[in-house]
Amino acid sequence: MSDGIRMYTNFIASIDTRLRNPKWVIEHLTRSKLKGDGTRSSSQFTEDAGVGARFRAKLSDYRGTGYDRGHMAPASNHKESQGSMDETFSLSNIAPQVGGGFNRDYWARFERFVQDTTKSFDDVWVVTGPLYIPRPGPSGWVLEHPMLGQPPQMVAVPTHFFKVVLAEQGDASTAVAAFVMPNSAIPAEYPLSAFSVPLTSLEEVSGLTFFPSLLDDARRMGLDAAALRWQALGRADAQRARLAPGASPPALLPPPPSLPGNAVVKSAVGAAVTAVFQGSNPAHLCDKLQCRLPAEDFWKGPGGGASRDRKLQRSQSAKF
């Protein structure tokens, strides 16, 4: 009864054999790991032979759908070697994403924002994954999303995507944040902090538990309060600018009152990460850094390096 864990050189993916997407992908980023010669132009998307043939996502599932093959662990985080970059093109690291306005734009800038946290922190752990979030319908809550491919072997189109970032600077400083974005075009000016969500809500809608060895109930709920504060600020900014995100804000309510931590069954991500928080409580990432996305043309500038052709190549994701 395997949990469907796939180990790669620089990331780990857990596979959902029903929805044929990753459940989550975890990476460890450092400044030095981000350097290297790997380029997207040498990589090709590949089916994962490590997942049963009847249960893996197939290249043909995406063909002609209009959806991009969206990376969970971004290719640009894994330039260390061409082999490492190639691994990120395994469909076990991929889920269907809207291209224009999302994968090729807002989400790409979000990935760069996360990468840039390594400028301030020595070690950054990132968990990325798809979400399937219910919406209110005329007669109650409904979960609804497209399915790609041919039944009964289908790939789900997620309604949203999440990233959880845990950043450490030695033992002195640790920061955490969780973001949830709709799988749709998002206006370029929309404030990143508006997508900050309480980790508690993300855990409950995903069924996952993030960094449980580090984040006990008290710490998690302290971070939740900061997350809601940043979310409110971001949404207020957006409202003043009369911006609407591509879809309704994520249907995530504020965290519930503290509950006893007697969980026996939970699906824990990053449980092995235990070596921090000896002394102080973690801060919310937006209290440590400016939670602002890089410029829309960040990939043009110096330092863009091998990813100069990034947007073009991302747009090719759907044409194959």
Pick the catalytic residue: 71, 78, 160, 284?
Answer: 71
Judged by beta carbon, residue 139 or residue 290, the one nearer a second copy is 139
Q: What are phi and psi of 103, to 5 degrees?
A: -55, -40
Site for a second copy (CB under 8 A): which residue of 205, 223, 273, 286?
205
Asked if residue 154 binds a second copy (CB under 8 A), the reply is yes
197 within 8 A of 250, measured Cβ to Cβ: yes
Choice from 41, 142, 216, 218 touching a second copy (CB under 8 A) = 142
Does the annotation list 262 as a binding residue?
no
Contact flag: residue 225 with a second copy (CB under 8 A): no
Q: List the one residue from 18, 119, 240, 242 that touches a second copy (CB under 8 A).
A: 18
Cα maximum dimension of the chain: 54
Write out the binding residues for a second copy, residues 82-141 only, by CB under 8 A: 132-134, 137, 139-141
Residue 247 in contact with a second copy, rule: CB under 8 A: no
160 is catalytic: no
Helix, strand, or coil (residue 9)? coil
- Residue 140 CA: distances (Å) to CA of 55, 134, 157, 200, 252: 32, 10, 22, 23, 16
| Closest to a second copy by CB, 24 or 113 | 24
- Alpha-carbon separation of residue 273 from 26, 167, 196, 210 (angstroms): 11, 12, 22, 10
Among the listed residues 15, 253, 223, the one whose alpha carbon sits nearest the alpha carbon of residue 133: 253
Residue 152: asked if its preceding bond is cis (omega within 30°), the reply is yes
Q: Is 262 in the site for a second copy (CB under 8 A)?
A: yes
Q: Does 172 bind a second copy (CB under 8 A)?
A: no
Comparing CA positions, the residue from 203, 193, 183 lying closest to residue 268 is 203
Residue 251 makes contact with a second copy by CB under 8 A: yes
| Site for a second copy, residues 175 to 204, rule: CB under 8 A | 200-204
170 binds a second copy (CB under 8 A): no
Cβ-in-10-Å burial (0-12, 13-18, 19+) of 159 comes to: buried
Our CB check for a second copy shows the closer of 16 and 86 to be 16
Residue 168's CB is within 10 A of a number of other CB atoms, namely 21
By CB under 8 A, name the binding residues for a second copy: 1-6, 14-20, 49-55, 132-134, 137, 139-148, 150-154, 156, 200-209, 251-253, 256, 259-260, 262-269, 271
Q: Binding site for Mg(2+): residue ranges?
A: 103
Instruction: Tell me the catalytic residues.
Output: 71
